[in-house]
Structure 1
């Protein structure tokens, strides 16, 4: 095999120079591209022995991406993978160039990848039969491997192959078995497959063909499982060589042909030449000199082709390298220009930011001036409004003070009237009880007096009810619980409540309200209103009079009338009926008295329920108190 040392020195010199240029930069890494590069390099590691052409294209792509963003670890891994690709195709000098290039870029902080690179260099030197350099690089790999079982297994694997080549078979076998134990602890199937091939080779060279065939069979079967086509091709040729040694030439020819076809499909030049050489030997031993000579010629042609291919590949390598270097230089030039542009842009940004800051300072100063001016106007307006509000509040306080004085005066009047009105029935009751207790009055006389005083007590009770209702509304507000109220039914209740008073004056009560017609109002309020109006009608209606409750259905409301045939109200007194301040109070037909609060309360309750209250009266003909309430809608 040709070893172009001068070519390697030239390429290594250029690679080192470019690496120094690249290492001088510290570009910002793109996380997305780094993930892509790392993913590409991992895929290449798994496919280069089965698909070297695809692996090489991917490695070159990963190299360009790494150099574009100055990702040194990615560049080193791409060079390492390119070395693996060329080694798998038996271009050992080219693979050495890429392995050595990888060492320039691989990070010193990752000893395991450095160990893998030195181990690969040792393997390439073994294939080039330079066993001294092979062992030297494998020793360096062992130091970087430390105690890592996977990396140590790889190093001892390669060492076993070196010692087998040096004819130290027992040492090679021992190292291979030790590596096998390490690989099994981590279940590294690809490494185990290679170790079976190593053991087969060592036992063949040692002359123990039975063991060699057993290990070779195992390696061959496992090569399908781990998809190592290169190892499979070598295993076919290894078995063929063993079968030649045990005089099974036909089997050797069959296996050699399989090895040649597979080697040709994946471009293993050593495999093709070795297969033809083995077949030629098999036919020679079978004394088939024609076939032996034919395959000898193929073997010679394969060697010539290998030398020619090496020369062509070396030329292609130089062209590819300088083409790659040219592309990388172009990338560096673009980055340099981009750096200059970034500098200019940075300067422009600085100028723009300075101008913006100055503009912001001016705007801020104007804003502060405007803000203070606006605040001054706001404060002036606020003071003006506060002054106006104070004047309004002063007027309101004066009005409230006047109202409070008026209400206080009204309270005094009401208490005086109510005290006077309640004092008489209570005093009468007290006198009757005192006379009864002293046995001055008989039971019959007490019963007669009680019947006479009942209307007075009932009037006092209604006065108290009105007072409590009015006081509650003034203190807590009117409690409103509207429902459907049937005026006819309330009229029935009024007839029952005031039945004794009707009998006393022989008054006829006529309930002409429309039954079943309901208004939307608070039922308790309506009962208070009707109690007051019926009580007033009784008070001002003479004996044998008539009091009538009637309703008139309107469009959206119901008109309720309480009419009597009493003595009526003078026209000049009508306007004072519903006012507490100018209340109207007259004596009833039987001397009944009132406070005037009842009618005021009625008006307030009716209006609160959404209606209105009014009165029509004519002296000596009677009065009609009317109010309206909203009808219940479906």
Structure 2
């Protein structure tokens, strides 16, 4: 049984997961259809197991209820309430069952007559268990009308009528209704209600003292209850055996069946079957003159009877708390929808108010405008003429500025093309000469290897020249975006040392990384790499053999100042002044004849400023140079 229940719960969760996925992955119409299918599936499971595992059946019905409420699936909501009512009825919590059954009736739609018939039928049975036989028969009559010509539904109505007549001791009518129900069940091939009817007929014939028939019906009811897993019927049938054998004075068998019925009723939570079992045990032991056992069960029965009110009170309190908790969850969904509707209504009302105020304001403005129009007309025309004249002057000034800029750009272009042609011609010519001599077998492979090492700095210098030119040109043509990230200057220094390792070794220059490790700045990583690459490349270019280059970082307030220092050739104050202007920037050959076009520093300045910083230089001729640039420090990353 536990394995069966666990399997059902797994299937239920899978269905619910499918419904939740549908809510996200499909159109609203397809979503509603998928959720309805899930709700119906869960309600089918709940109904099929409420007699064998009532607590699990209630949990499944509650999940179906919440899903149905999300899409306002009324038939699903009503059927979920109906299933919860079935569960509480099976556990003998009749008042609580009526609460949920009445809720079900408010949701079940008229186009679902069989569900309405089920609801009125179990409502009638619940009233019968509470002793209100008039309301019981009234609800069963309504259930019969909704059943129409459905034989299965009609069979259940006649079955419950037989119960009402039996407890009223109208045995003839009870047998008639039970037989009618059996005939209808045979037509409908209903295997669930038939054993219940056999159990009821057993009680009727016992009261009529036809014990042979009573035992036969009990045997059939008990055997079939095992097949359909109806624990409630099985417990009551065991107690019925005890009643029959007590009437037959076979008290030993009565005790055996009563104890079995007591244990099963206690495990399932069927209070009336539990008290009935104790009563039969008292009767059996009294008849056997076992007064000690009789007194023990009498005491137990009194305890059960005295505690039944407390049991119901506590049970009903807990169940009502469960009901209110479930109702609160439903109300939360409804409240959310109501709030959304109220907000929409308020927004609509506010839009109407705003529209009305706007119309009123426009009307007032119109009145004042008409009054003011003629007074201002002449002044407006004069202002328009002045503005047009100023616009023409501004347009002329812009044309002049653009003409000057075009001339400046043209001059820069001519200069760049000339320098590029000069700086790139030498490494390309050297490569071509080496290749020509290699093809003519004038030089060996070893000589090629030596020459390539010697020309490598020139090629890398040309490569950096092209890279800077492309970056600088792209920056001026289409702008540049900034992708901010946390950067560790020390780690970037390590990367730069690896990048320029060959050039440093070739000139025997020491690179010292004194940047603060672990502290970060926020900037575009590619931009800062371009800046460091150009500054370190320039430092190598103008530093003599056995020189020294230092990378340092200093944190001041909310900024970090990064510097690249060399002890190379240095520059005069006039040369420093010319570096950052496109019209006056220049390039000098390095200590080993390295060439460049001087565009790198212009690019560095633009990239640093683009990242919210500033670039400046401290240099003395013959004593080296120090290039500084600042970047904002984000404390969150520091």
TM-score under structure 1 length normalisation? 0.49
Q: Rg larger in 1 or in 2?
A: 1
